């Protein structure tokens, strides 16, 4: 019966049942019936996130419903964290990660769990992360599943059993705040992984390991280290000329490669997207000036050796957290009558770049969102023409885009038939103010600036804190259509030959849009904020769409999505097909009881201010939002129990397993008291 249903548009179904596996596997119009995998992070070697499947299409999208859901995730404690992984589907099995770098293998037809691998990351490691215990997925090759763990290991697992075959420590210094949240990428015979931590004072690099043995093959540093040591490779010596001698080597420089990489197998070249500087303001980081290579750059590396082929810096002397770590797509485009092998990216800084990926030549760059820090990109020099609005050294400035970028980590998709890139674009400014100085403190946020967005839902946020899915013509460098802003935060994107684009959002809807004009064909309520990118695959003549639900990541500190305020922020893998059923919404949250206001005896303004400093340096990256149960615990509404256990939680690690770290080694008794005093005073003021 299932076969009949799926063959309906061919007509003469009775006959078709018999020929489905032979006849339907051939011919472009019948691709919807062929078994089709999603074999690597970006679907294909080009990271286009575009599937040829067309069973689910403009005409049938309305029949989309739930086939099955998987919710057997290992979570820890009460905090429901973000789900950011792109699943891989090979051989009828889905491989994906949840929080805490745990890997799952489930039957792609039924959602039944086959195995689970928990690398048992120490909950304490959350102190070394900026943006939640998230993970963006695995790589699969040669009978192995590869995962980068939050605490900096690269693990190779047996694809059949999930048993670990080898493990490599990818960190150069385990005291520094390195973490891995990105998906490893396969480049030739190597598996490559970078890391995060540029907000916490680290020095960026990527490492390549042999797929079979796990032996390290090469390592490429993205920024110079302390000049007291030797430069590791020639590219570092070259980069050093773009840093002033008095640069803050102690803070690390930043330049982490925390998400995007793409491998061109024909050229045998790996492209890496490099992150922001540490600290953020260039005047604090490299006081004597300089572009600070290879921050905020796309760098092309020989996959075999790690030697640099070319580099292009999107934001010289970055002072705004304008990472170039965003999703990069390879394609062949006709530009000025010439076919070019190109690489394209919409990094945080607001410009959409098209470069020749053989030579690194900049072909074009235009604003895909509102940009005020630069007027345009000069194609002769390849450099931005600054407006002056971006300089907040002496006074605070409101600047577009924000530190969250015109586009963040959520993957784009490229429909090569329509020639359109779909950008999950964020319209948001932030007000930047510079600190006077920055001093290194282990595992602390060391950005050297404040950047404040308007609070979502506030009058200042009207028409700005919003996700707009933008269909971008990379040849003409202009938007063809923009979706209505339906949510303040949008998820990753999938495009298919069925003429559709699929994206979830923070309000908990999975939307299917017409790829040509952005018309919403179907909007599926799931009750859980979606930030991950959907994938599609086909088995036994059935096309499926899978997406992880669960709101979180770096954006969570500002506000849980509307869905997350109403329902339990439930981590699930939802898989849809034509003729499926409605998604069962998770349980509605009960309103928080208002806990008593606490007072502390020692409340001099200086002591409160000291508590605020302790909070900002150690707690603010998680606990800034006074929100719903799905968020990090609201310290402005502590229960009596929590208040009584405050010292045990902060200084004895009572909730360490769940990801509330032990701060005993950095905060003395007086500082913990100052923290309590600050929270009590602030709680009183906010009631
Ligand atoms: Ca950053």
Domain range annotation of the chain: 605-686
d(CA 375, CA 194): 32
Cα of 305 to ligand 1 centre, how many Å?
A: 28
Backbone torsions φ then ψ of 23, nearest 5 degrees? -65, -40
Distances (CA, A) of 650 to 372, 595, 639, 665, 681: 41, 20, 15, 11, 18
Distance 247 CA to ligand 1 centre (A): 19
Distance CA 416, CA 497 (A): 9
* This prediction's pTM: 0.93
Asked whether 572 and 583 are in contact (CB, 8 A), the reply is: no
CATH of domain 605-686: 1.10.760.10
Which of these is catalytic: 264, 321, 443, 511?
321
- Would you call 609 helix, strand, or coil by DSSP? helix
**Distance from the CA of 202 to the center of ligand 1, in angstroms?**
11
Q: 633 alpha carbon to ligand 1 midpoint, in Å?
A: 24
CA of residue 353 to ligand 1 center, whole Å: 20
Q: Which helix (H) or strand (E) holds 511?
A: strand 509-514
| The two structure tokens encoding residue 669 | 């008794």
The confidence score (pLDDT) of residue 1 equals: 33
Strand spans (E) along 124-268: 139-141, 144-148, 153-158, 164-169, 185-187, 190-193, 205-210, 216-221, 253-254, 261-264
Contact present, 451 and 437 (Cβ < 8 Å): no
**Quick one: tokens of 222?**
């993205």
Answer for the pair 45, 264: CB distance below 8 angstroms, yes or no: yes
Are the C-beta atoms of 549 and 83 separated by less than 8 Å? yes
Could you tell me the distance, in angstroms and rounded to a whole number, from the CA of residue 327 to the centre of ligand 1? 15
Cβ-contact 274, 255 below 8 angstroms: yes
pLDDT along the chain (687 residues), means of 10: 34 34 36 80 96 97 98 92 97 98 98 98 95 96 98 98 98 97 98 97 98 98 97 98 97 97 98 98 98 98 98 98 98 97 98 98 98 98 97 96 97 98 96 95 92 79 88 98 93 98 96 98 97 97 97 81 85 98 94 86 92 90 79 88 95 95 94 94 83
Check if 35 is active-site.
no
Q: What is the spatial distance between Cα 318 and Cα 321, in angstroms, rounded to a whole number?
A: 7
pLDDT on residue 12: 34
Using the mean position of ligand 1's atoms as its centre, give its distance from the Cα of residue 137 in Å: 20
**Residues having C-beta closer than 5 Å to ion ligand 1:** 276, 321
Looking at beta carbons, which pairs linking 598-606 to residues 24 or more positions away fall under 8 Å?
598/638, 598/643, 598/676, 598/679, 598/680, 598/683, 599/680, 599/684, 600/673, 600/676, 600/677, 600/680, 600/681, 602/673, 602/677, 603/677, 603/680, 603/681
Ligand 1 geometric centre to CA of 404 (Å): 8
Residue 31: per-residue pLDDT: 46
The three-state (H, E, C) secondary structure of 74-103, written as one string: CCCCCCCCCCCCCCEEECCEEEEECHHHCE
Cβ neighbours of residue 164 under 8 Å, at least 6 residues apart? 117, 155, 156, 157, 158
CA of 142 to the centre of ligand 1 (A): 34
Q: Looking up tokens 């069925």, which residue turns up?
A: 498
**CA 501–ligand 1 middle distance (angstroms):** 28
C-alpha 276 – ligand 1 centre gap (Å)? 5
Return d(Cα 41, Cα 138) in angstroms, integer: 7
């Amino acid at each position: 019966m299932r076969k009949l249903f799926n063959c309906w548009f061919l007509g003469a179904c009775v006959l078709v049942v018999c020929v489905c596996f032979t006849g339907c596997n051939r011919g472009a119009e019948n691709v919807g019936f062929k078994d089709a995998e999603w074999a690597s992070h970006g679907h294909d070697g080009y990271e286009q996130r575009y599937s040829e499947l067309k069973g689910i299409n403009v005409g049938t999208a309305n029949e989309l419903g739930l086939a099955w859901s998987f919710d057997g995730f290992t979570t820890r404690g009460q905090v429901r964290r973000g789900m950011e992984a792109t699943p891989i589907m090979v051989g009828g099995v889905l491989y994906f990660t949840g929080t805490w770098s745990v890997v799952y293998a489930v039957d792609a037809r039924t959602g039944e769990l086959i195995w689970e691998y928990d690398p048992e990351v120490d909950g304490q490691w959350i102190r070394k992360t900026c943006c939640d215990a998230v993970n963006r997925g695995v790589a699969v090759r040669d009978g192995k599943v590869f995962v980068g763990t939050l605490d900096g290991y690269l693990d190779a697992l047996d694809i059949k059993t999930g048993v670990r075959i080898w493990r490599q420590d990818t960190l150069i210094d385990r005291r520094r705040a390195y973490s891995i949240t990105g998906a490893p990428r396969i480049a030739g015979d190597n598996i490559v992984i970078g890391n995060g931590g540029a907000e916490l004072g680290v020095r960026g690099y990527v490492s390549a390991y042999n797929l079979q043995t796990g032996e390290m093959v090469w390592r490429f540093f993205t920024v110079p280290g302390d000049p007291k040591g030797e430069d590791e490779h020639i590219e570092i010596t070259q980069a050093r000329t773009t840093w002033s001698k008095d640069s803050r080597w102690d803070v690390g420089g930043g330049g982490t490669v925390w998400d995007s990489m793409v491998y061109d197998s024909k050229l045998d070249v790996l492209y890496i997207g490099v992150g922001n500087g540490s600290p953020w303001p260039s005047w604090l980081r490299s006081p004597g000036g300089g572009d600070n290579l290879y921050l905020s750059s796309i760098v092309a590396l020989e996959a075999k050796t790690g030697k640099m082929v070319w580099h292009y810096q999107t934001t010289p002397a970055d002072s705004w957290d304008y990472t170039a770590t965003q999703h990069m797509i390879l394609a062949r485009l006709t530009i000025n009558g010439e076919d070019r092998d190109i690489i394209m990216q919409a990094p945080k800084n607001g410009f959409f770049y098209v470069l020749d990926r053989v030579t690194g030549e900049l072909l074009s760059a235009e604003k895909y969102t509102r940009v005020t820090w630069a007027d345009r990109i000069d194609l002769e020099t390849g450099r931005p023409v600054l407006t002056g609005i971006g300089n907040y050294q002496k006074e605070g400035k409101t600047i577009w885009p924000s530190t969250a970028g015109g586009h963040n980590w959520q993957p784009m998709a490229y429909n090569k038939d329509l020639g359109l890139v779909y950008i999950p674009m964020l319209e948001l400014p932030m007000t930047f103010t510079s600190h006077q100085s920055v001093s290194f403190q282990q595992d602390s946020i060391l950005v050297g600036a404040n950047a404040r967005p308007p609070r979502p839902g506030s009058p200042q946020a009207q028409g700005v804190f919003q996700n707009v899915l933008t269909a971008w013509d990379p040849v003409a460098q202009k938007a063809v259509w923009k979706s209505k802003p339906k949510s303040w935060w949008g998820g990753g994107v999938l495009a298919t030959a069925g003429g559709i684009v699929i994206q979830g959002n923070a309000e908990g809807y999975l939307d299917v849009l017409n790829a040509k004009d952005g018309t919403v064909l179907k909007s599926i309520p799931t009750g859980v904020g979606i930030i991950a990118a959907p994938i599609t695959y086909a088995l036994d003549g059935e096309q499926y769409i899978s997406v992880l639900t669960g709101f979180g990541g770096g954006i969570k500190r500002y506000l849980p999505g509307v869905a997350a305020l109403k329902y339990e922020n439930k981590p699930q893998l939802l898989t849809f097909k034509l003729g499926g059923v409605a998604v069962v919404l998770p349980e509605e949250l009960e309103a928080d009881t208002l806990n008593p206001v606490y007072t502390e005896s020692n409340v001099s303004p200086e002591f409160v201010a000291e508590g605020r400093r302790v909070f900002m340096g150690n707690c603010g990256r998680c606990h800034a939002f006074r929100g719903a149960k799905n968020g990090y615990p609201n310290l402005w509404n502590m229960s009596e129990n929590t208040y009584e256990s405050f010292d045990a939680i902060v200084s004895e690690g009572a909730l360490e397993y769940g990801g509330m770290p032990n701060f005993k080694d950095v905060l003395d008794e007086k500082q913990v008291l100052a923290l309590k005093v600050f929270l009590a005073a602030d709680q009183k003021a906010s009631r």
